[in-house]
Chains A and B, each alone.
Chain A
Amino acid sequence: MTEVKPYQVEGVTGGWEVVIGMEVHAQVLSQAKLFSGAATAFGAEPNSQVSLVDAAMPGMLPVINEYCVKQAVRTGLGLDATINHYSVFDRKNYFYPDLPAGYQISQYTQPIVGKGKIVLDLPDGSSRTIGITRLHLEQDAGKSVHDQHPDHSYVDLNRSGIALMEIVSEPDLRSPEEAGLYLRKLRTILRYIGSCDGNMDEGSMRADVNVSVRRVGAKFGTRCEIKNVNSIRYVQQAVAYEARRQVDLIENGGKVVQETRLFDASKGVTREMRSKEDAHDYRYFPDPDLLPLELDPHWVEDLKSTLPELPDAKKARYVADLGLSPYDASVLVAEKEAAAYYEAVAKGRDAKFAANWVMGDLFGLLNKAGLDITKTPVGPDQLGSLIDLIKNGTISGRIAKEVFEEMFASGEDPAAIVEAKGLKQVTDTGAIERVIDEVVAGNADKVAEYRSGKEKLFGFFVGQVMKASQGKANPALVNEILKKKLTA
């Protein structure tokens, strides 16, 4: 394992440590909103998915959607967190046109999920545990649209009332890379559980990033919150920029003030949005329209027992049972579809060999083609058959790569390609001997050099033989016969 140097921002007065905490808003995968029956599909006509409750018409009342509660609890279980059997919905009061009721229903002092953790898989194969402070359920607001009219704004309430999980981390992250890894891992867990699709570009996962700097080991510095960053790359850029900004500010005799900032992706900078003095007084209080949420411990236990195998458990199993390296295992489990694919390929086969094919050849071509695993033209059975053809000696590993490219392009089965193209490996020793004899005869000078001790030339002879056989000669037989002929 290589020693990884901790990330630091180098200032003129020395190194500074970056401290990052994350608040992620994850949209709950649910057909209906948190407190109303309205639909939640992305991209619908403005104001076409709005119930009377979402529009906060007079006399309307919220009713909790049990499915969203279930999703939050399953997520909490996936984060190895305490499930609070008693939680309370509060009103967060403020005025904004896209907040129809004048308050957002959220959870303030008594969230549904308490402390948990997320394990980050670092590139060097080690791991780091990041604390989760809490997870709570809340409503999303609508959307103000400012670019449709010169002096009017429009409001789209489709998003109003959609269930969000706010997942808050401890200030445990120490670099832009860790911030990125944290988001990726969280997204992986959410997708395994199926409680959020994790699509940051559709806004179904958004991050508020708290950043501060300090001397290593010193007390926490004053933090700034960067609101609503909507891609992992932007989070990393925003953290790097903000940490640098704070270090420069402090080193120039300034002081970091607690404030909310925005990340301007086009310029790669953060800008002040509002200072602490302008912060709203949200006047939180328990929503009298809703009773406290009480969960039956048996119900929670049932959810726990029906949770799918999660990435950490899967990774551990790949390492322990399949003999994969921790890093390979973490790459394979990062997407649940990829892991399922891999397991289908590896079933009854050489697991490490299968891992190399999936991570190397398959991921390589998918990446080049800009496809994700769900769009792969080569099914796991097909890749499995290809591996079988290698293992039973029908084709060589080299030919297999050629066949795989053909499979990827055409979607055909490997056996058919091998058959049609005549790529079957030659295992007839007589035929191989004939080719070797030709090569030996045609390279008398090299043979002499070899025999006089230049054994490195062995590879040259192998290459010539494979070339002459169009790659079809069984490499093991080639080695064996060639050795005999050259030493004879």
Chain B
Amino acid sequence: MTDIIDLDLGSARDGLAKKAFSALELARTHVQAMEDARSLNAIIIETPDRALADAKAADQRRAKGESLGAMDGIPIAIKDVFCTKGVVSRACSKILDGFSPTYESTVTANLWQAGAVMLGKTNMDEFAMGSSNETSALGPVASPWRRRGDNRPLVPGGSSGGSAAAVAAGVGLGATGSDTGGSIRQPAAFCGLVGVKPTYGRCSRWGMIAFASSLDQAGSFGRTVRDAAIMLRAMAGYDPKDSTSVDRPVPDYEAALTGNVKGLRVGIPKEYRVGGMPAAIEDLWQRGIGWFKDMGATIVDISLPHTKYALPTYYVIAPAEASSNLGRYDGVRFGLRVSGDNVLDMYEKTRATGFGAEVKRRIMIGTYVLSAGYYDAYYLKAQKVRALIARDFTAAFEQVDVVLTPTTPSAAFAHGEIAGDPVAMYLNDVFAVPASLAGLPGVNVPAGLSPEGLPLGLQLLGRTFDESGLLNAAFALERAANFTARAAPWWRQ
């Protein structure tokens, strides 16, 4: 039999159902893996006691024939952006030091309701602002992956870097993420995982610490499309507490994974060919196109003409919303407070101490673009462009069923390699951001390795609320790509 630790979520689910092992054994294995992987700094709060208690409860349910389904007894890790009751939740910002919510986010509550086992909270870029997990107040995350013949630590991507690194290192069978402009898909690509961002409105944002409200969307990481699909189904659903969540039934995503893509129309947008993109990525994209052709899909060349404006548009809208969303961190009610001579002084000291450089940069950009005299030129203009970007996709989806692109314009980079250059950092999300602005579902499928031996991913984008169709295309792509590489476990000392 395969070692328990090597099972993916779907196989572990089957093993639990067959009583090949217990949820407690599975949890113990993952708690051990979590301890062994501490040098990655992927998990910033470990909840082993909770994990074992959750697992025991799952076993008891199963013994009584009352299993809650696919997620029952499955150990997972939770991005620190989700508020978890009684467990410190701070979006990896110093300004939320010691903040222990009295409430549970809807997404995590849904997961616990489905019987999932909580291993701990994962590291992330501060307030989900970053593409390398280097802006975390709790320190950077080391990717489990290293370049061939090079021991320098690499970034796992971001902002959900801790979640991606954990799952890639075999800590947890899945993890939650949040994707505002690529924060699930980009780290999934860097870490050789499947990461899915559903349609905006599919998962409730209630209890998820806000970065940019019109873009933030929870999603899942898994080793396989099946894993990510199973987990997403448990997270998703209408929530009356979130006015932007959408009241539509959540389909059984796993059941949609037939792998049949005959006649599927796959769009290839010409605007996703950017200058300076490594040949390996272009090659991988071409291979992806070939695989779909081989599977009987129809390849359609499409144009998404406003793509080049997506990144600047995103970097107006997201900071604008963030500058307002982060107004509540004032030292008055929770988290960090640095006393001052008067209330203004306290605000200034608290926020100067509590926020990191990238967060401050975005608050300042956001404040600027919303201010009187600049609003029309920046924020309003960006909203108009956003509408055009969404219209590009609407038009494209009249001709195609899914869109295939590279996920990132490069493989993972080393710690500090581009951290000093915010624009270079922002460019990581150039392929991810358009779908975020349009609110569309997207998924990264690991599809190959770079010449240095690092994972590269292909991105599939789908129609609004067509996660089933999207995941099935991803499933077919996954089978065709047959990506089996795993990071060598150097971190297990």
Contact = CB atoms under 8 A, between A and B. Distances in A.
A155 B324 contact: no
Given A57-B103, A283-B371, A155 B332 contact: yes
A59 B206 contact: yes
Given A103-B324, A281-B372, A61 B214 contact: no
Contacts of A291: 243-244
Interface string A271-292: 0000000000101110011110
Interface string B75-89: 000000011000001
A61 B347 CA distance: 23
B379 interface: yes
Most interface-central of B241, B244, B323, B332 (chain A CB within 10 A): B332
Looking at chain A's contact residues, the main secondary structure is loop
Contacts of A102: 324, 326-328, 330
Nearest to B96: A58
Given A59-B83, A63-B240, A95-B347, A288 B214 contact: yes
Contacts of A281: 371-372
Most interface-central of A59, A102, A284, A285 (chain B CB within 10 A): A59
A55 interface: yes
Given A283-B370, A283-B371, A291-B244, A59 B328 contact: no
Interface string B340-355: 0001100100000000
A78 B347 CA distance: 43
B214 A57 contact: no
B375 A285 contact: yes
Looking at chain B's contact residues, the main secondary structure is loop
Contacts of B83: 58-59
A62 interface: yes
Interface string A284-311: 1100111100000000000000000000
Interface residues of B, number: 44
B209 interface: yes
A101 interface: yes
Contacts of B244: 288-291
A370 to B, nearest CB: 43
A289 B213 contact: yes
B184 interface: no
B89 to A, nearest CB: 7
B324 A91 contact: yes
Contacts of A21: none
Contacts of A63: 240-243
Contact of B101 (A56, A58, A91, A284): A58
B379 A285 contact: yes
A153 interface: yes
A97 B343 contact: yes
Given A58-B89, A93-B324, A289-B244, A100 B333 contact: yes
B205 interface: yes
Interface string A51-68: 010011111111110000
Contacts of B328: 56, 58, 100-102
B207 interface: yes
A291 B214 CA distance: 10
Interface string B417-441: 0000000000000000000000000
A92 to B, nearest CB: 10
B238 interface: no
Interface in A31-88: 52, 55-64
Interface in B241-260: 241-244
B203 interface: no
B464 to A, nearest CB: 15
A103 B379 contact: no
Contact of A59 (B209, B323, B344, B367): B209
Contacts of A62: 243
A93 B325 CA distance: 10
Nearest to A58: B209
Contacts of B102: 52
A64 B205 CA distance: 16
B208 interface: yes
B43 interface: no
A291 B105 CA distance: 21
B336 to A, nearest CB: 13
Contacts of B214: 288
A285 B320 contact: yes
Contacts of B367: 283
Nearest to A99: B327
Nearest to B99: A58
B210 interface: yes
A103 B240 contact: no
A416 B446 CA distance: 97
A100 B332 contact: yes
Contacts of B241: 61, 63
B397 interface: no
Contact of B324 (A57, A58, A100, A285): A285
Interface in B276-322: 320-321
Given A64-B243, A283-B370, A95 B89 contact: no
Contacts of B112: none
Contacts of B103: 52, 57
Contact of A101 (B82, B240, B327): B327
Interface of A: 52, 55-64, 91, 93, 95, 97, 100-103, 153, 155, 281, 283-285, 288-291
23 contacts: A56-B333, A57-B333, A58-B89, A58-B99, A58-B101, A58-B334, A59-B83, A60-B206, A61-B241, A62-B243, A63-B242, A63-B243, A93-B370, A95-B344, A97-B343, A100-B332, A101-B328, A281-B371, A281-B372, A288-B213, A288-B244, A289-B210, A290-B244
Q: Which 3 A-B pairs have the closest CB atoms?
A: A102-B327, A283-B370, A288-B214
Given A56-B328, A58-B328, A93-B324, 18 more contacts: A58-B209, A58-B334, A59-B101, A59-B206, A59-B208, A93-B370, A97-B332, A100-B333, A101-B327, A155-B332, A283-B323, A283-B367, A284-B370, A285-B321, A285-B324, A288-B214, A289-B243, A289-B244
